[in-house]
Amino acid sequence: MNFLTDEQRAWHETVDRFMDKEVTREYIRQHDMDREYPYEAYERIAKEGWLRLLIPEDHGGFGGDIFDYAIMCEGLGKYGFDFATSVLVPTFTGMNIVKFGTDAQKDAYLERFMSGQIRFSISISEPMAGSDAASTRTRAQIDGDDYVIKGQKLWCSGAAARDVVIAMLVRTDPEVAKHKGLSVLLVPNDTEGLAIRKLPTLARRSTGTTEIFVDDARVPAANRLGAEGQGWEIITDHLELERIAVAAAYVGNAQTAVSDALQYAHEREQFDRPIFDFQVLRHMLADMQTQVDAARLLVYRAAEMAAKHEPCAKEVAMAKLFASETLQTVSRNGMQILGGHSMLPEADMERYFREGMQCTIGGGTSQVQRTIIAQGMRLKK
């Protein structure tokens, strides 16, 4: 188990300082209230070079490992998971392109992504394909040198922002078994035939999540990532990275929820004393910090195993499950500790609470994570 080297600790502090000085909690709060995409902060992060972190050096990246990446995700989640997700998600497709892309696709997309000129969204879900994501119905058919796409995608986060290329899971062959007939197409979000609508969701207000109506949208066949029928393999290839990244960001957000509640408990006085003096609240805070520390350790364990390329599906699912449920629990308890004040946006807690409600659903629900954990607990025959 890795308890952070001096370099990792310094990296943690760098991201933390950046969030306080360059991004700020007020910026993130305002963008949530206005339901505005955080373009300025995204550009600053691109300028820092942090979108290069995981991309291999021979593709112009820094070639960092997933543990360093998880530390960054924890920092970026400090003032809300929604903000972190705007920065994290594009990297998952970037890594898909590194592994499955042609030389022409790498040339076309990777440098532009790393420098912040384009970003990626991932569109797997549909109205009838949620946890059972391979039930994808959106159909893509070859017509000359193009694919023509028709169908409906749902919950595609970040797709309504500018300069987005959507990695879209589509059915290219309806005749074979359901996981086998899928492909991934890279679809610019200004392609004719796409109607993208940002949804008025409880959480994810700034990055935004969308529904996409696809009516005979046409993209070159050269925009297919990997081989036809390889879609399921590609889209699940980044699940380990995605779940470690989001779990780390939940931990960052959960830590702030606890720290904010603790500070409020020291400052707020009732019955002529700080409410922290009431043992019932002290014990709540003690439980909250214990949960966050446990979640962080699970995330670091999963990230360390992934960095060493050890099999870790179970450990990653444990980290995702526990960190998401921790953010939900500590933000709910934070609401209780802040009392009426918690209901106001400037207290931030109601935003953490909303984020917590979505994070046990997005990226694979808690029920799905438990199923994966249980699969890893089968006795070996």
Ligand X SMILES: Cc1cc2nc3c(=O)[nH]c(=O)nc-3n(C[C@H](O)[C@H](O)[C@H](O)COP(=O)(O)OP(=O)(O)OC[C@H]3O[C@@H](n4cnc5c(N)ncnc54)[C@H](O)[C@@H]3O)c2cc1C
Which chain residues interact with ligand X by CB under 6 A?
A: 122-125, 130-131, 155-157, 201, 203-204, 209, 358, 361-362, 364-365, 367-368, 371
Q: How far apart are CA 359 and CA 342, in angstroms?
A: 20
Nearer residue to ligand X within complex by CB, 140 or 307 = 140
Output 203 or 338, the one with its CB closest to ligand X: 203
Which is closer to ligand X, CB of 122 or CB of 330?
A: 122
Of 172 and 209, nearer to ligand X (C-beta) is 209
Give the shortest CB-198-to-ligand X separation in angstroms. 11
| Cβ proximity to ligand X, 155 vs 353, nearer residue | 155
Nearer to ligand X, 307 or 326 (CB): 326
CA distance 183 to 232: 7
Contact criterion met (CB below 8 Å) for 333 and 354: no
Name which of 329 and 365 has its Cβ closer to ligand X: 365
Exposed e or buried b per residue across 62-81, where buried means at least 16 C-beta atoms within 10 angstroms of its C-beta: eebebbbbbbbbbbbbbbbb
Closest by CA position to 324, among listed 374, 361, 372: 361
Q: Min. distance of Cβ 133 from ligand X in angstroms?
A: 7
Contact indicator for 231, 182 with CB cutoff of 8 Å: yes
- To ligand X, the closest distance from the beta carbon of 153 in angstroms equals 7
Tokens 């946006």 found at: 345
Kindly tell me which of 197 and 283 has the beta carbon lying closer to ligand X.
197
Three-state DSSP state, 156: strand
Contact 96, 105 (CB under 8 A): no
At 231, which amino acid appears?
G
Q: How far is the CB of 207 from ligand X (least distance, A)?
A: 8
> Tokens 């492909």 identify what position?
183
Sheet strands (E) in the chain: 119-123, 139-143, 146-157, 164-171, 182-188, 194-198, 209-220, 224-225, 269-270, 273-274
Burial of 363 (0-12, 13-18, 19+ CB in 10 A): buried
How far apart are CB 267 and ligand X at their closest, in Å? 33
Of 88, 102, 90, nearest to 59 (Cα)? 102
CB of 182 to ligand X, least distance (A): 13
Nearest residue (beta carbon) to ligand X = 130
Least Å distance between CB 318 and ligand X?
16
Cβ atoms 44, 22 nearer than 8 A: yes
Q: Decide whether 124 or 186 has the Cβ nearer to ligand X.
A: 124
Least distance to ligand X from the beta carbon of 1, Å?
30
370: tokens are 């438990």
In whole angstroms, the minimum distance from the beta carbon of 218 to ligand X comes to: 22
Coil, strand or helix at 112: helix
